[in-house]
A = this chain, B = another copy of it.
């Protein structure tokens, strides 16, 4: 009946690490609402993060407690290892209600479990943890002490297990396939939406051996003037002679992402885009090859900045971030960033997406490499020529 993706032992090790971090911070109870963190700790899966749901980790209770909408209770029963008494579905009248809030129900659970006077932490800046959630839980549990538990689980999951690395490698094969599909299909006169459709088809059908999962971010593929900003998707216009096309696509296996970005130029693209593309590729390669375990996240950015200094181009944003397991709307993990001031020590098993994109007023270039930190350096997950793709 249960459809576990990892062994119960691996899940419980993650829970143990989370409890250790909580104890170190003086936290008794952590309410986890980020869908990726819920999945990481319990296996919970399902597109139900559009209603309030979460898992509660308490130092004194072995398993996490799941709470969510009644109709999603069977998803908890099917996709997690949790015992029945640790699954708390709420009635449907809590959904989009003007008179009651699901966090009143959460408060009831905590009271029932004797946790209402404890030190309770919440993921204060996580997706789907709204201001109203915090206001409601604080109102309902006046004797509790509240702390900020944002990113506690995210920092636990920054170092991946061998199984997790294998998952990202499977995702990488899908990412390469998606990129090949886009490259093969994009041409002058082809509709952008038809290419996006083929990219999705490649992402989800996966390989003969395994299928793909929905990505935390839609295919980002602006063309023309729209490449002056990185987060636009397709339109139903056709590609035109001289267009620059940014392709930031991902492969996804069991919610583990491998994102990959390349930039294409069609026909008579400007010299500026060609120069920008060469600069980005050179800086990316230098930074990637310079990585050694023990370096700081900011050191990686320094290699990039030094390499491109001579070009005259300037990048005023981070060049990468920790990535892996995630649900919409982001495949980034919100922990380490490759940028000045980030003192995170690079450790084998950490996985990053290095994407030093540069966007100017009328065009932009994204070229990226997802990689894992190894004992010796950085191993890229993907193998796709690291240059502007010309057609």
Contact = CB atoms under 8 A, between A and B. Distances in A.
Contacts of A212: 193, 197
A295 interface: no
Contacts of A329: 47, 49-50, 128, 328-329
B124 A130 contact: yes
A283 interface: no
Contacts of A328: 328-329
Contact of A126 (B95, B130, B236): B130
Contacts of A318: 92, 95
Nearest to A206: B193
6 contacts: A45-B232, A50-B329, A74-B361, A129-B131, A132-B148, A206-B236
Interface stretch (A158-166, A272-280, A330-338): A330-338
A130 B125 contact: yes
A299 to B, nearest CB: 17
Interface string A42-74: 000111111000000000000000000011111
Given A71-B229, A197-B201, 19 more contacts: A46-B232, A49-B329, A71-B357, A75-B229, A93-B341, A124-B130, A128-B329, A129-B130, A130-B131, A193-B205, A193-B211, A196-B204, A197-B202, A197-B204, A198-B201, A200-B203, A211-B236, A213-B233, A214-B218
Interface in A60-104: 70-75, 78-79, 91-93, 95-96, 101
A96 B201 contact: no
Contact of A75 (B92, B231, B332): B231
A91 B316 contact: yes
A376 interface: no
Interface residues of A, number: 86
Contacts of A91: 316
A194 interface: yes
Contacts of A211: 191-194, 196, 234-236
B232 A78 contact: yes
A131 B127 contact: no
B204 A200 contact: yes
Nearest to A125: B132
Contact of A201 (B45, B95, B201): B201
B330 A50 contact: yes
B194 A205 contact: yes
A238 B47 CA distance: 21
